[in-house]
Amino acid sequence: MAFNLKTKLWQTGALEWWGFIDNEDVYLGAREFPMPPAEGDEWTVKKTRERFKIVDGEVRRNGVDDSPVKEWESW
């Protein structure tokens, strides 16, 4: 899949997205991952609460969402 991004991305058989960021494999989410990914897209991974953003063609960590977790969102 070619998305014209500098970050190496792949999808597992479980339809989860991963990326190689800062020399490590990072979970980028499943349904929350934007398709197709485009410049300026932002999302929060439900399982890890990590936020990501696409800046200059790279997927970058954008912090952790520390807002209260709603009861129906907890795993």
Q: What is the pTM assigned to this prediction?
A: 0.84
Q: What are the pLDDT digits (tens) for 33-63? A: 999 999 999 999 988 999 999 999 999 999 9
CA 39-59-47 angle, 5° bins: 115
User: Is 75 within a domain?
Assistant: no
The range of the structural domain enclosing residue 43 comes to 8-65
State the average pLDDT for the chain.
Answer: 89
User: Is 51 within a domain?
Assistant: yes
In whole angstroms, how large is the CA radius of gyration of the chain? 12
Q: What is the mean pLDDT of residues 29-35?
A: 93
Give the count of domains, the chain.
1
Q: Which residue has the tokens 């970050």?
A: 7
pLDDT at 65 over 90: no
CA gap 56, 38 in Å, rounded: 10
CB-based contact 6:14 (threshold 8 Å): no
